[in-house]
Structure 1
């Protein structure tokens, strides 16, 4: 007989045996346990919270299931569905923009009187800033134009004009791609007068419904946002019919120097005459003040300026063009040079057509104000009288004009690039010209000596100290109407500081020449000078006194050019200075180029209007 199990000696007084109903599953059904958990371990071990077996399907639910609400789905589910829909819509929009390369292309349709309607695809409204846009009519034809809100201030800033020109090229390329020109080699070479078949001018876009145009309300707001066209109000241009084509030159420039602006102004006028465009000048934000404070108004066209939002910086085929120093590369860039250069010549004659454009502008626009023009005429006559030889029938003396630019402009010549052309080179070249002039004459002996005594130099420089140097101690100033003074001259003129005006006491002289930072800081207190360099003129509005001082500097500059160019028999200068190139235009082609009286001592360079 098998032995029986004796539990009487166990150390446990009692044993708890789980009821059969609660031990229905095998131990193996617990996923991570080898044996069932005891009551004690299940109370203190948290593993059962993660790996607890599901309730037996045969047992009744201890808690009744929640009843479905008859009112509809829970709010959280509605929000989730809405979020999914919005997310899908956003993803769809982003994919569409990335895949199709959409550029700011508004979705706007306008009904016309002839019941034709055009539609632009893309966004929902026109942009509220100036930008080129691609448009598509209902027939699916892609075009592009430039949208400038009619209520936007005119003129635009130099940065906005430059940005528009960059975007014009991008949008034009995009539209050409839509027409199948995906390979750049498939596109014809674009010359200066190429007309983009896909560009629609603003006026035409308004007529065709691609742009909304302006209504009667615009006529009221235009008065405050039309800029300041020189001579517009005085000459009654507003009462004339609108010009069919026009070119408006905006004088605002980030360049403190006056020379580049003058050269572009003259070229723009010549270009306008060549293309039979009406010409206007805007001086709303010119750093030198009003244009008429220095020059007389330009010739008056026989028509009025167009609506300001139709004046575009690009493309060049636009009916109403805006030109400024900010868009110089667009208007006077490589395509312009290729169009107007005489490519069959290798010498200076290559630049003759461009020179002629500038000369046309000079003859029409370089008319000084009523105070300075009579002075220049008297000064030129006075200087020419001084070279007259009264004894016998001898030849007269010679006037050598010398233009010296210092300041923040350095020569092209490599050995002097970090400094300036030495003054002795100017003086030596001046003596050589006098010798060459008299040696080529028929004078002999004492007659030649008499003529040489009546020869002299006239000097114009942005550096006041140049006039006191040994090299030019015997020379004359080109003009003495307005002089730039150094601090030393100011102190000599006003030894007693107690009697000086506060503004004069705080200002500095022009030692070393014209520096852009000094110009922009002119009239400011020395405390704020460090923060002023590089600021846009739209940020800092100069005081009336500062504008007046800047205007005086501009007047001195143009009077120097006028006297040097009109009174001199020859001019010595450095081509790195724009004033040197302007002098060549003032002298005339025959005298300056053919006779060789325009002498550049800054490297072996020929005349060029602009260096872009």
Structure 2
């Protein structure tokens, strides 16, 4: 609304005239819009207490009394904690557990029910660690448990030592000052004592060994070659470290040790309880070694500490002490070698004699004629073991290369016989290996082609070489083989029949690796004996040709000895320029 400056100011509004309104109330004013009661105004806090009471004064006596009781409670808590630590109760221990490949330090109210490294603290607050194996577990443990313990040892040792400690993993004989052996841990009540075992009375009261090394023939590797090399190295290592050597064949997938060899070592002492025998660390008094712990016992630090010649001599020492075939097989090897050497083709030998030669002369002409044949051993590895050479790494070295190397060494002389040993039965009749003989004929692998030609097409034929999955699948029950069609892997653990339960209420399962059927065990024993007979025959040869990628080739070098293998060149590797090695790690 626009107002002009010249207009008179507006007049106030008026009420309608009535009898009840006076002249003064006829016009509206600001007081008409104000409430009849005054608006309450905010008041400031009073300086005097309400109800006339004075504020309480600070009571110093109550404060002192409260601080006194609080200090008493804290003191009692520390005294109780110190007493519990001093008594070494198991509730104060910490241990390392693994979930897959993730490791955690976990507080627990009791010892774990599985084998594991254990971190602990003594009364002085110093940290240590040891290996805890429950007493109720049988010996030997599954090979997966041994590998799991060794994989955790480095982590728990670093945890106990702290961040300032430098790593000594490359030093083979480094003794960790924080490690406490099981025997010492039990004496200090960190671990429960070993329960009494009545089996000790059956051991003619032999004293407990001060130090020992137990080689466990386990199912970590289906091959027999790596097992032999590990056993021979363990034998020599035990002698160097003044340990008593024991061989355990409880879980040996090939059966019993006595099936293949004459006898086991017999130390003059007995082993302690199973909880004392640990796979790691190396400084433990009672050490367990198997194919599952090769990378920790005979790994990088082992090869850094010992030279190649020293490792070779260690394997040679173990071979000379332990490779004693059972009498029947040993006699077969000696008789066959003698027959092959003396089976001389006299027609060829006499054809080179001059016609005018007087056989009554005393010039020892016959000394120039070889009295017996020379033997060339050829070992051809196929199956799941491929060569190191890049050219054949996805395939196999052709048989003609083996034969060409043999002819280069000895020529075309008829006084040399070529012995072939292979895990592939087809190599014995291969077109590129003419005029060759089987190394041994006592136990022969038959190919499917050979069986078919003999009218036994449904027989068990060995085709393509040694494959670990084929080995584990030998002699499995038919119901277990059917699982392969459903995508289940082999080998496997199968349920017992009739729903049998174990002590924990779980359904029993049979591990066919370590508990094979009777038929499977017989087949495995035949394969093992054939392998050992092949090695023994080839070791009697004058020249050996093989590929160093195969464990059998490395074993043959050890059986020939350092001088013959590397100085006289009787051992010939056709797998590139790779050097001899004991084990893969």
Normalization by structure 2: what TM-score?
A: 0.73
| 1:186-224, Cα deviation, whole Å (9 max, x unpaired) | 4567511111111110011111222111233xx15x79x
Displacement of 1:329 in angstroms is 0.9
Displacement of 1:123 in angstroms is 2.3
Map 1:174-573 → 2, pairs under 5 A:
174-177=159-162, 182-183=163-164, 186=166, 191-216=171-196, 219=197, 237=203, 239-341=205-307, 351-386=308-343, 392-396=366-370, 397-435=373-411, 452-495=413-456, 505=458, 508-524=460-476, 525=478, 526-529=481-484, 531-535=488-492, 539-540=511-512, 541-565=515-539, 567-573=540-546
- C-alpha contact 1:575 1:607 (8 A) present in aligned 2: yes
Match of 2:247, SS? strand
Counterparts of 1:329 and 1:169, CA distance in 2: 13
Match of 2:368, SS? coil
- C-alpha contact 2:143 2:218 (8 A) present in aligned 1: yes
Counterparts of 2:291 and 2:86, CA distance in 1: 34
Moved more, 187-196 or 461-470: 187-196
Counterparts of 2:18 and 2:333, CA distance in 1: 142
Aligned CA distance change for structure 1 residues 128 and 189 (closer, same or farther; 3 Å) = closer
Displacement of 1:514 in angstroms is 1.2
Aligned CA distance change for structure 1 residues 422 and 366 (closer, same or farther; 3 Å) = same
Displacement of 1:470 in angstroms is 2.1
- C-alpha contact 2:262 2:326 (8 A) present in aligned 1: yes
1:2 paired to 2:4: no
Displacement of 1:135 in angstroms is 1.3
Counterparts of 2:291 and 2:387, CA distance in 1: 22
* Ranges in structure 2 where 5+ consecutive residues have no aligned partner: 1-14, 20-34, 38-83, 95-106, 351-365, 495-509
| Residue of structure 2 in register with 1:94 after alignment | none
- C-alpha contact 1:288 1:551 (8 A) present in aligned 2: yes
State which structure, 1 or 2, has the greater radius of gyration over its C-alpha atoms: 2
Aligned CA distance change for structure 1 residues 152 and 168 (closer, same or farther; 3 Å) = same
Displacement of 1:532 in angstroms is 4.5
- C-alpha contact 1:402 1:571 (8 A) present in aligned 2: yes
Match of 2:446, SS? coil
Map 1:18-97 → 2, pairs under 5 A:
none
Equivalenced residue count is: 460
- C-alpha contact 2:247 2:265 (8 A) present in aligned 1: no
Counterparts of 1:388 and 1:339, CA distance in 2: 52
Moved more, 143-152 or 412-421: 412-421
| 1:535-559, Cα deviation, whole Å (9 max, x unpaired) | 4796333101111110110000010
Aligned CA distance change for structure 1 residues 206 and 420 (closer, same or farther; 3 Å) = same
Counterparts of 2:422 and 2:133, CA distance in 1: 43
- C-alpha contact 1:521 1:532 (8 A) present in aligned 2: no
| 1:435-490, Cα deviation, whole Å (9 max, x unpaired) | 3xxxxxxxxxxxxx8xx221120000111111111232311111100011112222
Counterparts of 1:167 and 1:424, CA distance in 2: 48
Aligned CA distance change for structure 1 residues 187 and 375 (closer, same or farther; 3 Å) = closer
| 1:65-120, Cα deviation, whole Å (9 max, x unpaired) | xxxxxxxxxxxxxxxxxxxxxxxxxxxxxxxxxxxxxxxxx989469xxxxx9974
Displacement of 1:417 in angstroms is 1.6
Displacement of 1:276 in angstroms is 1.3
Displacement of 1:403 in angstroms is 0.1
| Residue of structure 1 in register with 2:77 after alignment | none
Displacement of 1:299 in angstroms is 2.2
Counterparts of 1:474 and 1:336, CA distance in 2: 44
| Residue of structure 1 in register with 2:12 after alignment | none
Aligned CA distance change for structure 1 residues 386 and 140 (closer, same or farther; 3 Å) = same
Please provide the CA RMSD for this pair: 3.0
Match of 2:482, SS? coil
Match of 2:377, SS? strand
Counterparts of 1:483 and 1:544, CA distance in 2: 20
Match of 2:511, SS? coil
Counterparts of 1:241 and 1:286, CA distance in 2: 27
- C-alpha contact 1:107 1:125 (8 A) present in aligned 2: no
Aligned CA distance change for structure 1 residues 3 and 283 (closer, same or farther; 3 Å) = farther
